[in-house]
C-alpha cells in the first residue's frame, strides 16, 4: 500500500514539474519575442531627421527637391533618418511600417516615396506607393542605392548622399501625374452656372422695367387691346339703328 502511494506521489510531482517547466518556457518566449507594436517617430516635414545626421544646408536642398516634385507631379517624397530600427529585423520592414503610419502619398498612399536610413545599423531602404512602381523600377532603385546612397552612408556623409538620392529619384518620379479629371469638369460646370445666373439676373431686371408686360389687364382697362374695335363696332350699330328708325316711321 505504501509502495502504491509513493508511486502516485511521484507521478503527481512529475506532472507538476512538467507543468511548471512548460509555463516557464512559454513565459520566457513571450519576454524574448520583440514587441510587434513599438512607438514610431512622427513626421516633421519632407526631411524627418530623427537621427540628427543631416546638416541644415543639405536639409534645405532636400526640402527644395521634395517641394518642387510635389508641385509638379503631386508625388510626395519624404527622407527619414532614425537612430536605430530595433526591434525590426530590417530597414525595409521598419520603412514599410513608417510609411503606413504616416500615410505618405495621396489617395490610398499610392503616390508616395520614402527613403529611410538607420544610422546605427548603417542600413537604408526605400518604400514606394503602387503607382510609383512603373516609374521607379527595381533596377533604378538598385542603381541609385549603389551609386549615391550606400557610399555616402559608409563614409558617414548622410546629408550629401540623401540629397543626391532625392535628386536621382525625383527625375523619374516627376513623370508620374495625378489624374484630376473631376476638377476640370467642376470648373467647366461653374462657368456655365455663372453665365446662366447672369442671364437670369439681366432678364429679371429687364422684366421689372416693363410694367406693361407684367400687368396686361391694365392695358385692357386702358383700351389698348379693344378700344378701336369697340368704336367701329358701335358705328355699325349706329348705322343700323338709323336705317331701322327710317323704315319704321315711313
CA distances from 167 to 13, 50, 99, 140, 227 (A): 70, 21, 20, 13, 89
Condensed to tens digits (0 to 9), the pLDDT of residues 179-201 reads 544 444 445 566 667 777 888 87
Which stretch of DSSP H or E encloses residue 71?
Answer: helix 56-73
C-alpha distances out from residue 74 to 77, 113, 174, 176, 179, Å: 10, 11, 8, 8, 10
pTM: 0.58
Instruction: Tell me the angle at which helices 56-73 and 158-173 cross, rounded to the nearest 10 degrees.
Output: 10
* Structural domains of the chain, ranges and CATH numbers in brackets: 47-173 (3.10.310.50), 181-226 (no CATH)
* Tens-digit pLDDT profile for residues 2-31: 455 555 556 655 555 544 444 444 444 444
- In our burial notation (b when 16+ CB lie closer than 10 A, e otherwise), range 149-166 reads bbebbeeebbbbbbbbbb
Phi/psi for 116 (5° steps) reads -120, 140
What DSSP line would sit under 228-247, residue for residue?
Answer: HHHHHHHHHHHHHHHHHHHH
Q: Residue 112 is inside which H or E element, if any?
A: strand 112-118
pLDDT at 3: 59
pLDDT in tens, 67-122: 999 999 999 999 999 999 999 999 999 999 999 999 998 667 789 999 999 999 99
Radius of gyration of the chain (CA): 44
Neighbours of 110 (CB within 10 A): 16
CA distances from 189 to 182, 184, 197 (A): 11, 9, 12
Question: What is the grid cell recorded at 82?
Answer: 532614425
Amino acid at each position: 500500500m505504501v509502495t502504491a502511494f509513493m508511486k502516485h506521489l511521484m507521478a503527481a510531482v512529475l506532472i507538476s514539474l512538467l507543468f511548471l517547466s512548460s509555463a516557464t518556457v512559454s513565459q520566457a518566449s513571450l519576454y524574448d519575442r520583440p514587441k510587434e507594436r513599438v512607438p514610431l517617430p512622427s513626421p516633421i516635414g519632407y526631411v524627418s531627421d530623427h537621427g540628427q545626421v543631416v546638416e541644415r544646408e543639405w536639409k534645405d536642398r532636400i526640402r527644395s527637391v521634395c517641394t518642387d516634385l510635389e508641385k509638379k507631379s503631386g508625388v510626395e517624397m519624404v527622407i527619414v533618418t532614425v537612430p536605430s530600427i530595433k526591434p525590426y529585423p530590417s530597414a525595409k520592414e521598419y520603412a514599410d511600417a513608417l510609411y503606413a503610419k504616416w500615410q505618405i502619398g495621396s489617395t490610398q498612399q499610392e503616390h508616395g516615396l520614402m527613403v529611410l536610413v538607420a544610422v546605427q545599423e548603417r542600413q537604408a531602404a526605400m518604400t514606394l506607393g503602387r503607382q510609383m512602381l512603373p516609374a521607379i523600377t527595381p533596377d533604378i532603385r538598385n542603381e541609385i542605392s549603389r551609386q549615391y546612397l550606400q557610399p555616402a552612408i559608409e563614409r558617414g556623409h548622410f546629408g550629401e548622399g540623401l540629397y543626391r538620392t532625392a535628386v536621382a529619384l525625383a527625375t523619374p518620379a516627376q513623370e508620374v501625374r495625378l489624374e484630376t479629371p473631376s476638377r476640370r469638369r467642376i470648373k467647366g460646370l461653374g462657368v456655365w452656372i455663372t453665365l446662366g445666373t447672369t442671364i437670369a439676373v439681366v432678364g429679371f431686371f429687364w422684366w421689372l422695367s416693363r410694367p406693361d408686360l407684367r400687368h396686361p389687364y391694365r392695358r385692357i382697362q386702358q383700351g389698348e387691346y379693344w378700344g378701336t374695335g369697340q368704336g367701329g363696332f358701335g358705328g355699325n350699330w349706329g348705322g343700323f339703328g338709323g336705317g331701322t328708325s327710317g323704315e319704321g316711321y315711313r
